Structure 1
Amino acid sequence: MATSLIETTRRYAVPILIGAAVAIAGILPWALIAPINARVRPDLPWAAVAMVAYLALYVAWLNGAGWPKRWREWRHESLRLWRPGPSIWTRAGLGPTLALLALLTMLYILWIALDGQRPPPDLSLYPTTAYRISIVLIGALVSGLVEEVAFRGYMQSRLERYGAGTAIVVTSLVFTLFHGVHGGAALLLLGPGLFIASALYGMLAYHTGSIVPGIVMHTLGDLSYTFFATLGGDARLLIAP
């Protein structure tokens, strides 16, 4: 009994830990260099340029490029960047995809409506227009790309051997808890919505066989939330005095 429990824990723990490591590897560089850019030449968004280059290498390696060669196929299969089946392009295949995208759109609209009544944020730590715009754009890109790569790619795809439903639920639980870095109060408030969003993204990745639709939707959704909820839809806030 104990051996069976240990083996079950190990089978689930390995994909979870790998996915978490992939997420940290994608998010940490931006968290480190973006604040430096605020102090060092904020008139030039060099951190954004560096991060885009890093993300290109990050995705290429996780998709199977580079060393070690013996892990190339494993990395490519784990990422499932783009391997949709032919049926996805049929009317029957496109229907669920469009339905999931519509549900995600409605969820973002609800989030914006519920959280868009806050006072304007203090942007004094964002000294230039170039820096502010780069933070908004790259922040959304990092969140949308890295979270899909790590959670719906590496984590969920490896857990799907134990069943798609189980994989989506486990990944969504981990994804929700991962956002606990914003604090316990925020987790309690946002947790249900994060779980639902993750489950929808998980179903989208499983149905389409690709994380690309999720990356696009996730990035655009986070960008919309930042602009309409955080900034209140006021583009003037992006212009530094």
Structure 2
Amino acid sequence: MFNSSQAVLLLAAALPLVMVMAGPLERRIYRSNPSTGLKFVAYGGNIVLLWAMAAAAVGVEGWGRLLQSPAPSKSWLWAPVVTKPVLAAAVGAYMLVALLPLFQSLRGPRWRRAYAAAYRRGFAEIAGMLPNTALERAAWALLSLTAGVCEELYFRGFLIRVLQERGPELPLAAALVVSSLIFGLGHLYQGAKGVLGTTIGGAGFGLLFLLTGSLIPGVVLHALIDLQIAYVLTPGREETAAIA
């Protein structure tokens, strides 16, 4: 018989499978030029699932432990005097590049239109995922904030710790790799390229978590990276006037 803590841990472990299994359905929806209502259903399903995952993670570990990186019994980096600053520089560069659409779009409409076109090319196979109306952008903003909080709580704060301290008791570096792979598979609806990109992104956020010792920087940056899509895709005054 499972006790209550074991049941919550089992639930927390099972929920990412729901993300993976839902991938083909999400991909089918986003490739079908969905209506705003259907898009809300897809966004809403993700929001509910992500908060369920975060709640299960908090139920197992508690807020305090999730917000702080696990302490390894020995250094998880080879030659940390050298590798730690190199990794920190690489993670910083990755985050800066990931936020370039926002920074560059702030320079003016021409830049924003260029990045909006780049987003639409990048998401061409699942174009229905992108928000096109003001209501869709508002829903996207809620989804982005949810992803920033919940995905970091679960995949970094919870999963890395669980893989290291429970069950397989992996070395911290291996726990980072496995959690990043699971994070990437959770984005199966984006296709092979999307899985690879989000796996790399997951590793970047995981390294940020382990190097800073705090989940907060990753939460903020993750939310901003997703939120910038709504900003970049918002028509400027001149585009709105042309449509009118």
Given the two structures, how large is their TM-score scaled by the length of structure 1?
0.54
Percent identity between the two aligned chains: 25
Give a deviation string over 1:122-152, Cα, whole Å, max 9, x none. 79x977x4x3342131021112111111101
Amino acid at match of 1:152: R
Counterpart pick for 1:168 among 172, 176, 200: 176
Amino acid at match of 1:160: Q
Structure 1 residues without counterparts, runs of 5 or longer: 1-13, 32-37, 65-70, 86-91
- Contact 2:68–2:157 (CA under 8 A) maintained in structure 1: no
Give the superposition deviation at 1:209.
2.1
Structure 1 distance, partners of 2:195, 2:204, is 14
Structure 2 distance, partners of 1:80, 1:22, is 17
- Over 3 Å counting, the alpha-carbon distance change for 1:117 and 1:179 in structure 2 is closer
2:67 is the alignment partner of 1:81: yes
Structure 2 distance, partners of 1:206, 1:15, is 22
1:101-140 equivalences in 2 (<5 Å) = 101-109=92-100, 115-116=118-119, 118=121, 129=134, 131-140=135-144
- Over 3 Å counting, the alpha-carbon distance change for 1:235 and 1:214 in structure 2 is farther
1:40-59 equivalences in 2 (<5 Å) = none
- Over 3 Å counting, the alpha-carbon distance change for 1:222 and 1:235 in structure 2 is farther
Give the superposition deviation at 1:15.
7.3
Give a deviation string over 1:35-55, Cα, whole Å, max 9, x none. xxx77xx9xxxx99xx89x96
Q: Could you list the runs of 4 or more consecutive aligned residues of structure 1 that deviate by over 3 angstroms after TM superposition?
A: 14-17, 22-25, 57-64, 82-85, 92-99, 107-110, 112-115, 117-123, 235-241
Counterpart pick for 1:151 among 155, 169, 175: 155
Structure 2 residues without counterparts, runs of 5 or longer: 1-7, 27-35, 72-81, 102-114
- Contact 1:23–1:147 (CA under 8 A) maintained in structure 2: no
Structure 1 distance, partners of 2:9, 2:160, is 8
Aligned length: 182
- Over 3 Å counting, the alpha-carbon distance change for 1:105 and 1:61 in structure 2 is same
1:1-241 equivalences in 2 (<5 Å) = 18-19=12-13, 21=15, 63=58, 74-76=61-63, 79-82=65-68, 100-109=91-100, 115-116=118-119, 118=121, 129=134, 131-161=135-165, 162-180=170-188, 182=189, 186-228=190-232, 231=233, 234-235=235-236
Give a deviation string over 1:181-225, Cα, whole Å, max 9, x none. x1xxx3212222211111111111112222111110000001113
Give the superposition deviation at 1:63.
4.4
- Contact 2:145–2:223 (CA under 8 A) maintained in structure 1: yes
- Over 3 Å counting, the alpha-carbon distance change for 1:156 and 1:58 in structure 2 is closer
Structure 1 distance, partners of 2:138, 2:116, is 25
Given the two structures, how large is their TM-score scaled by the length of structure 2?
0.54
> Aligned-residue CA RMSD in angstroms?
4.9
Structure 2 distance, partners of 1:213, 1:227, is 21
- Over 3 Å counting, the alpha-carbon distance change for 1:22 and 1:212 in structure 2 is farther
Structure 2 distance, partners of 1:21, 1:139, is 18
Amino acid at match of 1:179: H
